[in-house]
Amino acid sequence: MEIIPAIDIRGGKAVRLFQGDYARETVYADDPVDMARHWASLGAPRLHVVDLDGAREGRAVNTPIIAAICNALAIPVEVGGGLRTLEAVQAVLNAGADRAILGTAALKDPDLVRQACERFGERIVVGVDARGGHVAVQGWLQISTTRAVDLMRQMQAAGVQRFIYTDIGRDGTLEGPNIQGLQDLLHAITAPIIASGGVSSLEDVRRLSTTGVEGVIIGQALYTGALNLPEALAALR
């Protein structure tokens, strides 16, 4: 299981939001590139980068910063936030991203996801963000009536080979991941799932490693020091 540090970019800075609330933001670094180098230097196998401005506006906003992060690192970077066209996906991959994450598009424009999978294959990941089991879109500003498991089944049928699942109710809370919810999803679909949201301790990491998830994205716990990245990586070895 990969441990993947998260870098969320808003206003050119590395920030964290509480449960996706743009009004409840903590700035952790003025320079996201320095933060990316920091996590890479501590042994991160991959980085998860989200353009929060892009997610809210529906178009890529922080691509120059994302390109700088990709160019500065030897490890792969997956990028999401505001990717709502094939051109936007192509641009972020051209900027150096290893994977492009489609979120809102999966619900609002499934044909785009299908085309992206046909063109870019495994480099396309669908991020499913859910509150109470229902899919949230537009930077988590809207909750749909679609169940996360139903969307993931549809997307897998459309060619998606990997998912990131975020439990919004746990994100940024340090309350621990929703293990049962993840296990239900793992039984429902066959594609690999990367978990996100709520990890607060080494014990949470160990519990996730027994579920069968491919990786875990961690933000708040790493930034607050509740979790030490080298220790977590060592625990999984």
Token pair of 38 as six digits: 């920091």
* Distance from C-alpha of 31 to C-alpha of 13, rounded to nearest angstrom: 6
8 is catalytic: yes
Annotated catalytic residue, options 8, 51, 53, 171: 8
* 3-state secondary structure (DSSP) of residue 65: helix
Helical (H) or strand (E) element with 55: helix 52-57
Q: From the CB of residue 34, how many other CB atoms can be counted at a distance below 10 Å?
A: 12
Annotated catalytic residue, options 51, 53, 129, 204: 129
Quickly tell me which residue has 């999401």 as its tokens: 80
Quickly tell me which residue has 């089991």 as its tokens: 133
Q: How far is CA 185 from the centre of its chain?
A: 17
Token pair of 152 as six digits: 């993931």
Catalytic residues: 8, 129
